[in-house]
A and B are shown apart, each in its own frame.
Chain A
Amino acid sequence: MVNRDILDYTAVELSEKIKKGEFRVTDAVEAVFGQIAGTEEELHCYVTLEKDRALARAAGVQEQIDAGALTGPLAGVPFAVKDNLCTRGMRTTCSSKMLENFVPAYSAEAVLKLEEAGAVIIGKTNMDEFAMGSTTETSYFGVTRNPRNTAHVPGGSSGGSAAAVAARECFAALGSDTGGSIRQPASYCGVVGMKPTYGTVSRYGLVAYGSSLDQIGPLTKDVRDCAVILETIASHDEKDSTSMRRTDTDFSSALKEDVKGLRIGIPKDYLGRGLDPEVKSAVLAAAEVFREKGAVVEEFDLSLAEYAIPAYYTIAAAEASSNLERFDGIKYGYRAPETDELHLLYKRTRSQGFGPEVKRRIMLGSFVLSSGYYDAYYLKALRVKALIKKAFDQAFAKYDVILGPVAPTTAPKLGESLSDPLKMYLGDIYTISVNLAGLPGISIPCGEDAGGLPVGLQLIGDCFREKTLIQAAYTYEQEVK
């Protein structure tokens, strides 16, 4: 029963055991693939799995560990990577027909950082097509099911990554978060997910959706893994002009149980209309835990939350409409067959290669950027974005952490969301402001609803205050363990 035991470890614990010689790296990889053999057919967390490659890599990593060349906390850990992060020699599809056969010649900087630390990438996880969606149902390759209840979605867009961690089909995963795409699936699947401050992790090699909002982050079994992985992938990268130089990325130093005197604010608008009562009571119970541990918790008004959704969908769609122009059938990816006239080639390739949600956002984005509408929509959305940032600045003058739900409900049933896109967009209400303001946010499990589906607690910090969030999340996690 060794295999079953090994899957119970967190990434950091596993690496410890491997470095002590209790497990081989190949044991970990075999264990994960053993689990996959049992559950993947139903769950469908992955778009691509590369077992042979992972085993070969595991052998190489083992040699380096044995030689004492790899000593870090992630050495030997099997990882899953969201399929919008380029992996050299491993196909990167963004869960789209458009990139079904695209194999990059380069790896994303965050992937390189993980590999330098000795991680073994076993495959690429399913996602909403080009990260557009909140359920992983817009994937060209089919839905992913929630491991906690397979009638439900895992959330999205990093649904495959969250489900793979929850189903123990990997030890940890990378995702990307443009409007909640790490935090919300983490919440739905009962794992930890974090979006760092914009500019903390290089976006080089992340297939862009909304460039000014996209950030890469970890999805993990616990807060320690989250801190360690973020510490590993955070870097200043010359190849990303929006990446920042930070000297405070020793996030694991914040794994301390102490929230005494921590000032926590709960926005009243985050507890109002539309919030499921079971989610509300779980979140308020979590707030009570913080209070008992010595934090100062109070409710306050964070205005403008209602403007966040239209501003977000305007800006993200505008950027996406331009970012996705490069998928044209000329250079790589899908090309409509038997088309020799240029404009027809563009039209057919993009009509056939993109799914409906992607097309909807491209059309929306093209519209808000068109001449005559630019000021009324795009510029206005940028102004709202600036006001939201200002509102958060004011809040962080009073509070160290903002606490609230991740999503208004627990994971919806499969097939419920896509019929009403507007309703799906409204589900992002608690997460998207964080992206608009460039802030860090973490999602940690805080209980279950009556049906046994996990509820997520969101902690939001000021720019560069990941450590505050990690310390608060760690304290809570240790308390309720």
Chain B
Amino acid sequence: MAKQYETVIGLEVHVELATRTKIFCGCSTAFGGAPNTHTCPVCTGMPGSLPVLNKQVAEYAIGVGLATNCTITRYCKFDRKNYFYPDNPQNYQISQLYLPICRDGYVEIGLPAGATERKKRIGIHEIHMEEDAGKLIHDDWEGCSLVDYNRSGVPLIEIVSEPDMRSADEVIAYLEKLRMLIQYLGASDCKLQEGSMRADVNLSVREAGAKEFGTRTEMKNLNSFRAIARAIEGERERQIDLIESGKAVVQETRRWDDTQETSYAMRSKEDAQDYRYFPDPDLPPLCIDDAWLERIRERQPEFREEKRSRYRETFDLPDYDIDLITDSKHMADLFEATVALGAHPKKVSNWLMVETLRILKEKGLDPEDIAFSPEHFAALIDLTERKVINSTVAKKVFEALFDEDIDPVAYVEEKGLRTVNDEGALRGIVEQVLAENPQSVEDYKNGKEKAIGFLVGQTMKAMKGKADPAAVNKLLKELL
């Protein structure tokens, strides 16, 4: 009988923080920009330049630490990690090794139905702050490499978990939980595809019931949840195959190629560099006093669980709606802002859950990508509720709202989309439709109730969609 294996997984998650300026200088962190335009002597490693900590980075790191039940290191330090590479202008990265800002935390993840426990704790070993590197661009045509330091010095936190996960599902649940917490904090947008959240997977396998861990590998270049799931499955099988065929798993770093669905070794433990970490003498220790910590604690946002219960009490929404809306902080903010403008909570919720999610899915976007304003959204709902436009028109207007954040009131006027409530005009059209469709009139009179639907449709078509279907229905019945 085949042996049973258990997968043991720990994660190193890098999150790019949403500060306006870099971690050790005043340069912008904005994406885009011509190469080397968001740079200064500090983030290009010029001689004599010195780093100065952006306090917002520490505040975000502490915020994430508090949200993940960590102990905050009240006297923390920065260390230099020394290695030569052209994207690293000083040839050392300022990071934290000896005294990281947060330690010993955990998050709880939900387990799938059928599991013995409903929740599981995933331990967080530490969270530390560090700077991102620049970007190398290889120009094969010219046969040279160019370096862009716009990203050099963009702040990151690295969240190191304990080896507490046992499956791809747990890994994804953990990542979703982290992403949710961090998005709620506003500390990052956490987009895997764009690299503002990056996960390295440390994985080993062992026989079920074994006490000791197996030899682990580290997998890099995982750009989506699907890639992570595939990489975990692939690496688990690769390691089991090695063990079953009597070979040893080598401790190494591997790079996942998601298009080939395979990984290859980047470097083994023997090649591992000696980073010669030591405390950065240019940065004094960061002392986090009670008052500062308390201020950060007070500013912590309402997280999802608290939001859920408040929505239940305040808005009288079904749990299904609440779960969907609070799944994204951005969506929840939009919901609350729209309701605050006077829109009915359930109507707002319906628009979010049906039309909004439909368009997001069609366009392959995340809730974070919603760009329309609550003011315009509330105006659209108001137009619909007051029957200024009918529901078919409303969906069209919503699409324009979603794409370009149009002002629905102006848009409806401009495009002449108001529902026609002038009964005289409507009666003329209805009479014309009846005259042009004698067969349907005959069918209806012979008891085919459905025939009226066709007549309503013809009338709406003649009205270019701008009639209230209920009014048309009523008038048709009257004239028949």
Task: Give me the interface of A with B, judged by CB distance under 8 Å.
Answer: 85-86, 92, 94, 99, 102, 104-106, 108, 203-208, 210-212, 238-242, 318-319, 321-322, 325-328, 330-332, 342-343, 346, 366, 369-371, 374, 378
Across the interface, A322 reaches (CB within 8 A) one of B53, B82, B274, B283, namely B82
- Distance in angstroms from B286 CB to nearest chain A CB is 10
Confirm or deny: B345 has a beta carbon within 8 angstroms of a beta carbon on chain A: no
Tell whether, in the assembled complex, residue A326 and residue B90 are in contact, meaning their CB atoms are under 8 Å apart. yes
Which residue on B lies nearest to A371, using beta carbons? B274
Across the interface, A241 reaches (CB within 8 A) one of B47, B82, B84, B284, namely B284
Known interface pairs A346-B84, A371-B274; A205-B48 also in contact (CB < 8 Å): yes
Known interface pairs A106-B41, A239-B50, A370-B274; A330-B82 also in contact (CB < 8 Å): no
The residues of B that contact A238 with a CB separation of less than 8 Å are 52
A205 CA to B42 CA, complexed, in Å: 10
Tell whether, in the assembled complex, residue A242 and residue B284 are in contact, meaning their CB atoms are under 8 Å apart. yes
Confirm or deny: B92 has a beta carbon within 8 angstroms of a beta carbon on chain A: yes
A342 CA to B88 CA, complexed, in Å: 14
Tell whether, in the assembled complex, residue B92 and residue A322 are in contact, meaning their CB atoms are under 8 Å apart. yes
28 of the cross-chain contacts (CB-CB < 8 Å) are A86-B48, A92-B47, A105-B46, A203-B50, A204-B48, A204-B50, A207-B48, A208-B47, A208-B48, A210-B281, A239-B52, A241-B51, A241-B284, A242-B282, A242-B284, A321-B276, A322-B80, A322-B82, A325-B82, A325-B90, A325-B92, A326-B47, A330-B86, A330-B147, A331-B44, A331-B46, A346-B84, A374-B276
The residues of A that contact B47 with a CB separation of less than 8 Å are 86, 92, 94, 99, 102, 104, 207-208, 326-327
Tell whether, in the assembled complex, residue B278 and residue A322 are in contact, meaning their CB atoms are under 8 Å apart. yes
The size of the chain B interface, using a CB distance under 8 A, is: 28
Q: Lowest 8 A-B CB distances belong to which pairs?
A: A325-B91, A212-B281, A369-B276, A211-B281, A205-B48, A207-B47, A326-B45, A86-B48
Tell whether, in the assembled complex, residue A206 and residue B48 are in contact, meaning their CB atoms are under 8 Å apart. yes
- Distance in angstroms from B251 CB to nearest chain A CB is 16
- Distance in angstroms from B82 CB to nearest chain A CB is 6
Tell whether, in the assembled complex, residue A326 and residue B91 are in contact, meaning their CB atoms are under 8 Å apart. yes
18 new A-B contacts at CB < 8 Å, known A99-B47, A331-B89, A374-B277: A85-B48, A92-B48, A102-B47, A104-B46, A106-B46, A207-B47, A207-B48, A212-B281, A239-B50, A240-B52, A242-B282, A322-B276, A325-B90, A325-B92, A326-B47, A326-B89, A369-B277, A371-B276
Tell whether, in the assembled complex, residue B278 and residue A241 are in contact, meaning their CB atoms are under 8 Å apart. no
Confirm or deny: B71 has a beta carbon within 8 angstroms of a beta carbon on chain A: no
Known interface pairs A242-B282, A326-B91, A330-B86; A204-B49 also in contact (CB < 8 Å): yes
Task: Give me the interface of B with A, judged by CB distance under 8 Å.
Answer: 41, 44-53, 80, 82, 84, 86, 89-92, 147, 274, 276-278, 281-284
A331 CA to B91 CA, complexed, in Å: 11
The residues of B that contact A242 with a CB separation of less than 8 Å are 281-282, 284
Interface centre among B45, B50, B147, B274 (most CB of A within 10 A): B50
The residues of B that contact A321 with a CB separation of less than 8 Å are 82, 276
- Distance in angstroms from B27 CB to nearest chain A CB is 13
Tell whether, in the assembled complex, residue B48 and residue A328 are in contact, meaning their CB atoms are under 8 Å apart. no
The residues of B that contact A241 with a CB separation of less than 8 Å are 50-53, 282-284
A394 CA to B227 CA, complexed, in Å: 62
Which residue on A lies nearest to B81, using beta carbons? A322
Tell whether, in the assembled complex, residue A369 and residue B52 are in contact, meaning their CB atoms are under 8 Å apart. no
Across the interface, B278 reaches (CB within 8 A) one of A108, A204, A210, A369, namely A369
- Distance in angstroms from B120 CB to nearest chain A CB is 35
Known interface pairs A241-B282, A242-B282, A370-B274; A104-B50 also in contact (CB < 8 Å): no
- Distance in angstroms from A11 CB to nearest chain B CB is 25
The residues of B that contact A104 with a CB separation of less than 8 Å are 41, 46-48
- Distance in angstroms from A64 CB to nearest chain B CB is 27
The residues of A that contact B91 with a CB separation of less than 8 Å are 325-326, 328
A206 CA to B52 CA, complexed, in Å: 15
A319 CA to B282 CA, complexed, in Å: 10
The residues of B that contact A207 with a CB separation of less than 8 Å are 47-48
A459 CA to B89 CA, complexed, in Å: 41
Which residue on B lies nearest to A213, using beta carbons? B281
A212 CA to B45 CA, complexed, in Å: 18
Across the interface, B50 reaches (CB within 8 A) one of A105, A240, A326, namely A240
A240 CA to B24 CA, complexed, in Å: 11
The residues of B that contact A318 with a CB separation of less than 8 Å are 278
A204 CA to B92 CA, complexed, in Å: 18
- Distance in angstroms from A277 CB to nearest chain B CB is 39
- Distance in angstroms from A347 CB to nearest chain B CB is 10
Tell whether, in the assembled complex, residue B52 and residue A370 are in contact, meaning their CB atoms are under 8 Å apart. no
Tell whether, in the assembled complex, residue B276 and residue A366 are in contact, meaning their CB atoms are under 8 Å apart. yes
A366 CA to B281 CA, complexed, in Å: 16
- Distance in angstroms from B105 CB to nearest chain A CB is 27
Which residue on A lies nearest to B90, using beta carbons? A326
Which residue on A lies nearest to B40, using beta carbons? A106
Tell whether, in the assembled complex, residue B46 and residue A332 are in contact, meaning their CB atoms are under 8 Å apart. yes
The residues of A that contact B90 with a CB separation of less than 8 Å are 325-326
A330 CA to B80 CA, complexed, in Å: 20
The residues of B that contact A108 with a CB separation of less than 8 Å are 48
A82 CA to B32 CA, complexed, in Å: 40
A369 CA to B79 CA, complexed, in Å: 12
The residues of A that contact B80 with a CB separation of less than 8 Å are 322
The residues of B that contact A371 with a CB separation of less than 8 Å are 274, 276
A102 CA to B41 CA, complexed, in Å: 13
- Distance in angstroms from B94 CB to nearest chain A CB is 11
Which residue on B lies nearest to A211, using beta carbons? B281
The residues of B that contact A343 with a CB separation of less than 8 Å are 84
- Distance in angstroms from A342 CB to nearest chain B CB is 7
A318 CA to B48 CA, complexed, in Å: 17
Tell whether, in the assembled complex, residue A374 and residue B278 are in contact, meaning their CB atoms are under 8 Å apart. yes
Which residue on A lies nearest to B87, using beta carbons? A330
A328 CA to B82 CA, complexed, in Å: 13
A242 CA to B278 CA, complexed, in Å: 17
A327 CA to B52 CA, complexed, in Å: 21
A106 CA to B49 CA, complexed, in Å: 9
The residues of A that contact B49 with a CB separation of less than 8 Å are 204-205
The residues of B that contact A212 with a CB separation of less than 8 Å are 281
A239 CA to B40 CA, complexed, in Å: 12
The residues of A that contact B41 with a CB separation of less than 8 Å are 104-106
The residues of B that contact A92 with a CB separation of less than 8 Å are 47-48
The residues of B that contact A94 with a CB separation of less than 8 Å are 47
Which residue on B lies nearest to A333, using beta carbons? B47
The residues of B that contact A106 with a CB separation of less than 8 Å are 41, 46, 48
A420 CA to B260 CA, complexed, in Å: 60
- Distance in angstroms from A215 CB to nearest chain B CB is 13
A327 CA to B147 CA, complexed, in Å: 16
The residues of A that contact B52 with a CB separation of less than 8 Å are 238-241
The residues of B that contact A240 with a CB separation of less than 8 Å are 50, 52
- Distance in angstroms from A70 CB to nearest chain B CB is 26
Tell whether, in the assembled complex, residue B84 and residue A328 are in contact, meaning their CB atoms are under 8 Å apart. yes
A5 CA to B206 CA, complexed, in Å: 88
Across the interface, A378 reaches (CB within 8 A) one of B50, B278, B284, namely B278
Which residue on B lies nearest to A206, using beta carbons? B48
The residues of B that contact A326 with a CB separation of less than 8 Å are 45, 47, 89-91
A443 CA to B429 CA, complexed, in Å: 106
A374 CA to B275 CA, complexed, in Å: 11
A371 CA to B81 CA, complexed, in Å: 12
A240 CA to B282 CA, complexed, in Å: 8
The residues of A that contact B86 with a CB separation of less than 8 Å are 328, 330, 342
A322 CA to B276 CA, complexed, in Å: 9
- Distance in angstroms from A296 CB to nearest chain B CB is 37
Tell whether, in the assembled complex, residue A325 and residue B48 are in contact, meaning their CB atoms are under 8 Å apart. no
A364 CA to B45 CA, complexed, in Å: 23
The residues of B that contact A102 with a CB separation of less than 8 Å are 47
Interface centre among B80, B84, B90, B276 (most CB of A within 10 A): B276
Interface centre among B48, B51, B86 (most CB of A within 10 A): B48
Tell whether, in the assembled complex, residue B282 and residue A331 are in contact, meaning their CB atoms are under 8 Å apart. no
A342 CA to B46 CA, complexed, in Å: 20
Which residue on A lies nearest to B144, using beta carbons? A340
The residues of A that contact B147 with a CB separation of less than 8 Å are 330
Across the interface, A331 reaches (CB within 8 A) one of B45, B278, B281, B283, namely B45
